[in-house]
Amino acid sequence: MTTGTADIGLIGLGTMGAALSANIAEKGFRIAVWNRSPEVTRDFVANAGPLAGRIVPTETLAGLVAAIKPPRAVILLVPAGPIVDQQIALLRPLMAADDLIIDAGNADFHDTDRRTVEAAAQGPHFMGIGVSGGEEGARHGPSIMAGGTDGDWARVAPVLTAVAARYDGTPCAVHMGPGGAGHFVKAVHNGIEYADMQMIAEIYGVLRDGMGQGAAQIAPLFRHWNEGALHSYLIEITAEVAATIDPETGLPLLDVIRDTAGQKGTGRWTAIEAQHLGVAVPAIEAAVAARNLSAALADRQAGEALYGPAPQLLGAGAPTPDVLEQALIAGKILCYAQGFDMLARARQQFSWPLPLPDIARVWRAGCIIRSAMLNDMATALAEDPARNLMLAPHFADHLMRAVPCLRQVVALAALNGLPVPALSAGLAWFDQMRTARSTANMIQGQRDFFGAHGFERVDGTTGQHGPWVRD
């Protein structure tokens, strides 16, 4: 094989690949690039300005491989699924056994585990890394959640830490463990993102439908909240989204956007995997369900025609902005607490290192769920990684104040028919988590009654059956 000059290669100059390639070149690395449609590669280099000198355009996969210094590393940024397998199959015969393929797309971690096993048998090496932050993050500093062997991580860490976002100078790039660990953490990140976005949308719904507020009134409220405990990327962009005017109609842009939301599957994967792991993440599940229900537009329209719209929460019945802010603070803490609970369970189940405080740290900058709270979460998890975040004193203080407001908002919404599924699910989870004696004794009684499943007595005696009264 010819010896190339590039430090790394990249396949797929779409939204993410083009932005990440420019970021890598900007940090001083030489990068060889290849795209299925060659005109995209030509345009990319033509528009790269001063970075073009560090970008090696190639028009064949063999040319790409030849352009990289051995041992070679090639990043894939193509759509997740079978296309990744096709690219690996095309690259495999062109690469040496100690070369490395890095899937930086949003892969299902089960696929990453499978590809890792296949790579061990057939070569070259393989890593799956989760990259968050969208196009802007990829261009100027994403949050990177890496999976793979220690040795492969050590090989690419210089490039990946150089391009990652920084929080107080610390790069937001962490090695999470072998195989699919990086993509698993990225999926949980996206699950939290779904829940956080849904809770924000629900508060927007209370303001819009319950209190008759327009986007122009809602935008400054979110802008104000972004200066407090809620300070986060998602609250910041919510204010901007609400403030934007549609140039065609002069109306708030929000008011002309159809209310059906898409998903690429990562939130759904998180909800499904939580069920496999036997861990409760109801706020994330509610957010996934809400996206599914958003697509049922005709049914929702028929439902409103039949049952009528929710009435407005008038006068003293309406929550104050402070109550709404506190409700959102509580909801946000609870959805992160559920996400970290899921990570803690996966850590045990899969025997992955999953460094929980570092995961909170890696999400402090660059990614979509970056928020001021994550710094305190990192501290709480460093104190005791096994303790649920809602039990950490710092967050317990917040929740003591904020949960009564969440309760007020959920109760008002329920009484008036305003949908707040993720906030309700967060609250129901909190209430279950603070109930020392649950009602599962009744479930166990029922199970033993109809199926002789047995139960454990409170004194610890197991394998018990009831002398059930059968009329």
Which tokens belong to 426?
Answer: 């967060």
Query: Which H or E element spans position 145?
Result: strand 143-147
**332 contact partners, CB below 8 Å, separation of at least 6:** 196, 199, 230, 232, 371, 373
Site for ligand NDP in 13-42 (CB under 6 A): 13-17, 35-37, 40
| Shortest CB 43 distance to ligand NDP, Å | 10
Binding status of residue 105 toward ligand NDP by CB under 6 A: yes
For ligand NDP, which is the closer residue by CB, 78 or 418?
78
How many residues bind to ligand NDP according to rule CB under 6 A? 21
**132 contact partners, CB below 8 Å, separation of at least 6:** 142, 143, 145, 186, 189, 190, 363, 366, 367, 368, 369
For ligand NDP, which is the closer residue by CB, 17 or 141?
17
For ligand NDP, which is the closer residue by CB, 105 or 177?
105
| Shortest CB 108 distance to ligand NDP, Å | 10
| Shortest CB 18 distance to ligand NDP, Å | 8
Binding status of residue 77 toward ligand NDP by CB under 6 A: yes
| Shortest CB 126 distance to ligand NDP, Å | 15
| Shortest CB 431 distance to ligand NDP, Å | 34
3-state secondary structure 63-104: HHHHCECCCCEEEECCCCCHHHHHHHHHHHHHCCCCCEEEEC
**291 contact partners, CB below 8 Å, separation of at least 6:** 194, 198, 261, 262, 263, 267
- What are the backbone dihedrals phi and psi of residue 11, each rounded to the nearest 5 degrees, phi first? -115, 125
> Is the distance from CB of 133 to CB of 104 less than 8 angstroms?
no
Binding status of residue 88 toward ligand NDP by CB under 6 A: no
**48 contact partners, CB below 8 Å, separation of at least 6:** 22, 25, 55
Is residue 134 packed enough to be buried (19+ CB in 10 Å), middle (13-18) or exposed (0-12)? middle
For ligand NDP, which is the closer residue by CB, 77 or 369?
77
For ligand NDP, which is the closer residue by CB, 187 or 215?
187
Is 264 annotated in the active site? no
Under DSSP, is residue 188 helix (H, G, I), strand (E, B) or coil? helix
For ligand NDP, which is the closer residue by CB, 78 or 346?
78
Select the residue interacting with ligand NDP from 67, 78, 160, 412 (CB under 6 A): 78
For ligand NDP, which is the closer residue by CB, 180 or 319?
180
Distance CA 465, CA 282 (A): 32
CB atoms near residue 293 (< 10 Å): 15
Distance CA 169, CA 154 (A): 20
Distance CA 71, CA 63 (A): 15
For ligand NDP, which is the closer residue by CB, 78 or 206?
78
Q: Which residue is nearest to ligand NDP (CB)?
A: 14
| Shortest CB 41 distance to ligand NDP, Å | 9
Is 193 annotated in the active site? yes
Site for ligand NDP in 233-292 (CB under 6 A): 264
Distance CA 108, CA 111 (A): 5
Select the residue interacting with ligand NDP from 28, 79, 228, 309 (CB under 6 A): 79
Distance CA 166, CA 164 (A): 6
Nearest to 338 by CA among 266, 426, 262, 255: 426
Binding status of residue 12 toward ligand NDP by CB under 6 A: yes
Binding status of residue 421 toward ligand NDP by CB under 6 A: no
Binding status of residue 191 toward ligand NDP by CB under 6 A: no
| Shortest CB 62 distance to ligand NDP, Å | 15
Which tokens belong to 13?
Answer: 């100059």
Select the residue interacting with ligand NDP from 123, 134, 214, 353 (CB under 6 A): 134
Binding status of residue 309 toward ligand NDP by CB under 6 A: no
| 324: Cα within 13 Å, side-chain hemisphere | 24
Q: Give the active site residue among 59, 69, 186, 383.
A: 186
Q: Give the active site residue among 136, 193, 304, 456.
A: 193
| Shortest CB 128 distance to ligand NDP, Å | 11
Write out the residues near ligand NDP by the rule CB under 6 A.
12-17, 35-37, 40, 77-80, 83, 105-106, 131, 134-135, 264
Q: Which amino acids are annotated catalytic?
A: 186, 193
